[in-house]
Amino acid sequence: MPRGVPAIRIWPMSDKIKGFRGRSIEDVQRNLFLRRLPNTMKGRWHYGSSGLNADPGTLILFQFKARIIASAVFLRDEKYEKPIRGNAGEIAIDPKSIRTFEPLDVEAVRKVWPSFRAFGHAKQALNPTLYSKFLRQMKNVASPKLS
């Protein structure tokens, strides 16, 4: 992972949408972040309605069930001219940058970013100067085996 990042954004994922219903955090970490996203999907994450307006190199923290469960480095957002199979576009992330770790709850996030209020359904920005402090919170870090 990079030493510093230009920005940090939280990407909320709902356990109420198709593909995530009934899945545990561990299942999403293992099967999506460590297998499918880096290998089958080649780092391309399709989104239904809105993408991510961010600079390349931004660190995305993936939120699921009120926990931060994974991270990856953002490369670009590609909005489709017309929806394709219900998707408005896709973001590209660097497959080599994907990391999973022990899920971080709101209290753990506040240890790094004291002004953090709560998890929600909106994408949030966090202070990137605290990135090294975030790294120290990560335990049992795993990265994908790329095929």
Domain ranges of the chain: 8-137
C-alpha closest to that of 54 among 135, 128, 116 = 128
pLDDT at 121 (0 to 100): 87
Alpha helices in the chain (DSSP H): 25-27, 106-112, 131-137
Model confidence, pTM: 0.92
Distances (CA, A) of 114 to 18, 125, 128: 33, 13, 13
For residue range 99-128, list pLDDT tens digits in order.
999 999 999 999 999 999 899 888 999 999
pLDDT at 3 (0 to 100): 60
- CATH of range 8-137; options 1.10.3470, 1.10.1060, 1.10.260, 3.10.590: 3.10.590
Alpha helices in 48-116 (DSSP H): 106-112
